[in-house]
Structure 1
Amino acid sequence: MEQLDVIIKNGKVVLPTGVSETDIGIKDGKIVVLKKGITTKAKTTWDAENQYIFPGMIDVHVHFSEPGREHWEGFHTGSMMMAAGGCTTYFDMPLNGIPSTVNQEALDQKAKLGNEKSFVDFSLWGGLVPGNEIDLEALANSGVIGFKAFLSTTGNKEFEAVDDITLLNGMKIIAKLNKVLALHSESAAITNWLKEEKEKAGKFSADDYLKTRPIMAEVEAVQRAIYYAELTGCPLHFVHISSAEAMEKIAQAKQKGMNITVETCPHYLLFTHDHLRELGTVAKCAPPLREKEEQQKLISLLIEDQFDMISSDHSPCPYDLKDPTVYNLFQAWGGISGGQFSLLSMVELAVKHNIPFETVAKWTASVPAERFGLSDRKGKIVEGADADLAIVTLEQSYTVSEENYYAKHKQTLYMGHTFPCQVVGTFIRGDVVVKDGKIVADQPEGSWVKPEGYTVVN
């Protein structure tokens, strides 16, 4: 064999079949050989002794707010943050930019910025909002990974929640386009009514906020979406599910053969409503962090392998939108900043609950790739795949600080949290982006990744 570009030797490689002590040979951005004791010469060698090599994480749910709100988070800082956490491909949601990604022009604008600024690869969601049903086909033809809609009020005038008729019409079109609809599933009627009741009573505490977004609001929206998917044949992906009862509805639909996947987020597994009580706005999200009993149910479901994938739902904002001295809890932005910590979180949970690392790799890489049409090149450590890799050590802990968090705004629920592991290296298509936990790439090298075989639909 001709000279390789990179050899990663002596590592514990997380393969689909389990962890194997093998070497990885990389050429032209691809994994070209997997075997113990590669003797071919290479330009660069990485000694991964006592390190685990995971497939690079594919985070299907992040909010980078460029264009229009780069001061919230943009592709440059956002992608460095993802790389530092071992993520090599992320899917940017359509709602927080100005304009939102709801038509061809907005998609092209966002893609251009991503190609110029992202340190790792990315895919783009399109949006389903009232009035843009006519734009869905063009977005699909241009290579969006899927579509996103809200069943609860968004708090964003550029991206409104769908009404039931828009949802049904959109689902019918998306099914024809052979795409997936991702849904934020909380009942707008229930949550808005409860919020109004609390505001009338002048009640704005953490407990009051939790009561305005009860589990039944999530369950009602999930069940309604499942009914509509039965009518229309639309594939669904439920984002950031936070309750066991909603998971039960999804499991029942899957058992009927429906085309559905589901994610949860690390913050629902590592944190509880007590953190909202203690820390205030930095821990506010929607759906909210649940009580300890519900968190334990979610962890049990994780151990039982009931979630298809894990995503961060990285949803940052400037400090003033989270400042508890300026806004009461209801007024503060609802989102958790933490995209850098998803793989670390799952390794922590795996170590604590004896979950195999290949299962972590399934949740964070292979299932996202398979679900959204990227498995021809991403998601697994196999010969012929992109050399997208995250190198993790269990010999060093990692405590989150302002100095090592790469997001634009350092305000995060994870601040001060200590993980029993650390991402020491990240490769994107064979190039080292992160080494010893620090960004070492000279310039952005990421590009827009489109699903396999996307075609124009007539």
Structure 2
Amino acid sequence: MADLVVRSLRAVTAEGERPAAVLVEDGKIIAVLPYDAEVTTGAEVDLGATALLPGLVDTHVHVNEPGRTEWEGFATATRAAAAGGVTTIIDMPLNSLPPTVNPDALKIKQAAAAGQCHVDVGFWGGAIPGNAADLPGLHAAGVFGFKAFLADSGVPEFPPVDPAQLAEAMSAADALFVIHAEDPDHLRDAASSSAYADFLASRPQDAEHAAVATAIAVAREAGRRVHILHLSAASALPLIAQARADGVRVTAETCPHYLTLDAAAIPDGATEFKCCPPIRDTANADRLWEALADGLITCVVSDHSPCTPDLKRQDTGDFAAAWGGIASVQLGLPVIWTAAAGRGHTLADVVKWMARRPADLVGLRNKGRIAPGADADLVAFEPDAEFIVDAHALHHRNPVTPYAGKVLKGVVRTTWLRGSAVTGADAGGVLLSRTEEM
């Protein structure tokens, strides 16, 4: 007996892609049976050849509420996530006001999110100069770890840490530390310019390489887990490989824009492509794909970091003045599937990169997989359907994205959160807390 059974000839389960019937009761998957199994159920959905995926887990989303809700908010960000097949997000500790750097700020963030979320939402805490004493309490309150910048974050209320301050933070809390890895000594002031090449030159691969080395060195000394955020520079990959071989607990992620966009193809003045670290060339992207395929890069997440259109300075096209951030939480699955399929990868690979491994990173063993005992977070995905990206049809708050006008493969037909279809009418997401088993 089950509340719901979802059948698909292409279910991506823990054992790989296969025909299956997924049984759901009280929001949990209770069994994964053969496609044609006879089941007594209250409701049944037969997807036929439409693929059934676990809900994606995006551990790198900037919601910005409260304080900068005009940039993005929980209602719009989570509606966009659900429309893109993402059923769990972990919100970054900036660019909200206040930033999530102490337990009181976390309570403010949770209060802002309550009742607005269309998917499940967890929270990162922040490590900034002078807040090491707040980290144990913030960790105990349920954040999934701590984000730190090694270079300017772009907002004054979230300053970067130097190596000594990072070491102090790691000593204060036995937690996962996630690092924006760019070294300020290797960054150059970007002169006012509409040429993307000028902006790219101001943030060379050496800046990432040096910062990754710093993060690894501090984590090695402190004996802590460290995760490199939004890796753009392939030159840093050997550092990560060697550190892992040495027993340092280091992982890394990358983002759809680093894997699929080409610096040489970015038009002058197209500030919707600006992000930090920057989009690089196709040869660099090829090396990131290789690292993803062999497991050196563990996961792909959005780094959804939107702002109001005026902050993108589209009127002047000045890359130096524009806010750096890519809005893509709704588009990550089709962007990656389009590129991955062209490279010979499978839906099971995409699920591994965008669902199971991000869930494992933050200890959510009941997310990101179709298996008994997991939450019934499911996605009906039409892998061969194509669409043209219309920025004004996306659900995030401001219609700015570098993918506008692109033809992508893969359409999300239905997203279920704990067995209930997400329609956008009801906000059924819950606020998540870290478990002690992480």
TM range (shorter): over 0.9
Q: Offset at 1:398?
A: 2.2
Q: What is the Cα deviation at residue 359 of structure 1? A: 2.1
Which residue in the other structure is 1:437 paired with? none
* Deviates most, 16-25 or 79-88: 16-25
2:298 corresponds to which letter in structure 1? Answer: D
Q: What is the CA distance between 1:204 and its match in structure 2? A: 5.9
Tell me if structure 2 keeps the 8 A contact 1:54–1:391: yes
Question: What is the aligned partner in structure 1 of residue 202 from structure 2?
Answer: 212
Deviation readout 1:119-161 (Å, 9 max, x if unpaired): 0001100000011111101110011011000011111011111
Q: Find the counterpart in structure 2 of residue 9 from structure 1.
A: 7
Question: Which residue, 249, 264, 280 being the options, matches 2:270?
Answer: 280
Deviation at 1:418, TM superposition (A): 1.5
In the alignment, structure 1 residue 444 sits paired with structure 2 residue 427: yes
* 1:101-121 Cα distance to aligned partner (Å, 9 max, x none): 001111011112223111000
The secondary structure found in structure 2 opposite 1:347 is helix
Residue 89 of structure 1 and its aligned partner are, at CA, apart by: 0.2
Residue 420 (structure 1) aligns with: 409
Report if aligned partners of 1:11, 1:47 keep a CA contact under 8 Å in 2: no
Report the Cα distance in structure 1 between the residues aligned to 2:391 and 2:65, rounded to whole angstroms. Answer: 23
TM-superposed deviation, 1:234: 1.6
Partner AA of 1:343 in structure 2: L
- Residue 256 of structure 2 corresponds to 266
Give the secondary-structure state (helix, strand or coil) at the position aligned to 1:415.
coil
Structure 2 regions of 5+ residues with no counterpart?
A: none
- Counterpart position of 1:183: 179
Alignment partners' CA distance in 2, 1:163 and 1:344 = 38
For 2:260 and 2:163, how far apart are their aligned partners in 1? 34
The CA distance in 1 between the partners of 2:294 and 2:355, in whole Å, is 18
Distance 1:414 1:204 in 2: 19
- Which whole-Å CA distance do the structure 1 matches of 2:256 and 2:321 have between them? 24
The CA deviation at 1:291 is 1.8
Secondary structure of the equivalent of 1:339? coil
Map Cα deviations across residues 295-348 of structure 1 (whole Å, 9 max, x no partner).
Answer: 222223333343101100000000100123246211110000111111222222
Higher alpha-carbon deviation: 125-134 or 297-306: 297-306
Partner of 2:289: 299
SS in 1 for 2:266: helix
RMSD (Å) for aligned C-alpha atoms: 1.6
The answer as to 2:22 corresponding to 1:24 is yes
TM-score (structure 1 length as normaliser): 0.92
Deviation track 1:261-319 (CA, whole Å, cap 9, x = no partner) reads: 11000001110113433452100000101022212222233333431011000000001
What is the distance in 1 between the residues matched to 2:293 and 2:393?
A: 30
C-alpha contact 1:320 1:326 (8 A) present in aligned 2: no
- 1:157-236 pair list within 5 angstroms: 157-174=156-173, 177=174, 179-191=175-187, 194-195=188-189, 198-199=190-191, 205-236=195-226
Match of 1:436 in 2: none
* AA partner of residue 187 (structure 1): D
Map of 1:330-345 to 2, 5 A cutoff?
330-345=320-335
Q: What stretches of structure 1 of length at least 5 have no aligned partner?
A: 434-439
Q: Give the ranges of 4+ consecutive aligned residues of structure 1 lying more than 6 Å apart after TM superposition.
A: none
How much does 1:256 deviate? Answer: 0.9
**Letter aligned with residue 411 of structure 1:** V
Q: C-alpha distance in 2, partners of 1:220/1:277?
A: 29
Q: Say if 2:269 and 2:316, in contact at 8 Å, map to a contact too.
A: no
For 1:429, the aligned partner's letter is R
The residue aligned with 2:367 is 378
Q: Distance in 1 between matches of 2:254 and 2:25?
A: 35
Moved more, 387-396 or 424-433: 387-396
Alignment-mate amino acid for residue 413 of structure 2: V
Partner of 1:390: 379
Please state whether the residue corresponding to 1:116 is helix, strand or coil.
coil
- In 2: Cα distance, 1:204 partner to 1:153 partner: 22
2:34 is the alignment partner of 1:45: no
**Relative to 1, partners in 2 of residues 1:10 and 1:75: Cα closer, same or farther, differing over 3 Å?**
same
In 1: Cα distance, 2:144 partner to 2:319 partner:
34
| CA deviation after TM superposition for structure 1 residue 454, in Å | 6.0
Asked if structure 2 preserves the Cα contact closer than 8 Å seen for 1:101 and 1:127, the reply is yes
Map 1:70-109 → 2, pairs under 5 A: 70-109=69-108
Give the counterpart letter for 2:76 in structure 1. Answer: T
Give yes or no for the alignment of 1:310 onto 2:293: no
SS of the equivalent of 1:162 reads coil
CA distance, structure 1, for counterparts of residue 371 and residue 293 of structure 2: 26
Q: Which amino acid aligns with 1:450?
A: S
Contact kept in structure 2, 1:32 and 1:383, CA below 8 Å: yes
Taking the aligned partners of 1:188 and 1:353, their CA distance within structure 2 comes to 35
Cα separation, 1, equivalents of 2:321 and 2:158: 18
Q: Report the TM-score, using the length of structure 2 for normalisation.
A: 0.96
Q: Name the amino acid aligned to 1:453.
A: E
Q: Is the 8 A contact 1:374 1:450 kept in 2?
A: no
Alpha-carbon distance in 1 for matches of 2:411, 2:194: 38
Query: Which stretch has the larger CA shift, 333-342 or 304-313?
Result: 304-313
User: Which deviates the most, 351-360 or 62-71?
Assistant: 351-360
Check if 1:367 corresponds to 2:357. Answer: yes
Q: How many residues align?
A: 437
* Residue identity matched to 2:113: G
Match of 2:336 in 1: 346
Q: Residue 16 of structure 1: CA displacement? A: 2.4
Letter of the aligned partner of 1:180 in structure 2? L
Q: Deviations over 1:19-60 (max 9, x none)?
A: 010111111101112112232232322121111111110001
Tell me by how many angstroms 1:98 deviates. 0.4
